[in-house]
Amino acid sequence: MPGIFIRWIILTCAIIITSYLMDGIQVSGFFAAFFGAAILGILNAFFRPVLLLLTLPINILSFGLFTLVINAILLLMVSGLISGFRIHGLWAAIWGSLMISLVSWLLTTFISEKGRVEYIDLKKIGRR
């Protein structure tokens, strides 16, 4: 359970970092990013799998690049729900979703399900 909260904070940090790096995304403060991360997590958990299934033929034809459009649409939906979280245009949402995904992936790489920092020791893998 602590892993969920740590990943929520990491997604919040990813949104804040992306808003500083991109002109098309504006976040009014920490709480706007915090609630935006919560809504984005809920949308990713419930609606993203359905959208991926519905757009599977387009996704196959585009070699998976249509997933970026789906992520951008979910980010635009969050922008419509949270008042202090604004995205100006589809291209800003596409690049923003890509940056948020990359920053979030980099920050959560070492966080386990229990919320602990873990790493893989390659020297111990071969010894078993």
Domain locations along the chain: 2-114
Confidence of residue 51 (pLDDT cuts 50, 70, 90): very high
Mean pLDDT of 21-35: 91
Q: Examine the pLDDT at 128 and tell me if it is beyond 60.
A: no
**Torsion angles phi and psi, residue 19, rounded to 5:** -65, -30
Q: Examine the pLDDT at 117 and tell me if it is beyond 80.
A: no
Confidence of residue 61 (pLDDT cuts 50, 70, 90): very high
Diameter of the chain by CA atoms? 54
Distance CA 75, CA 85 (A): 10
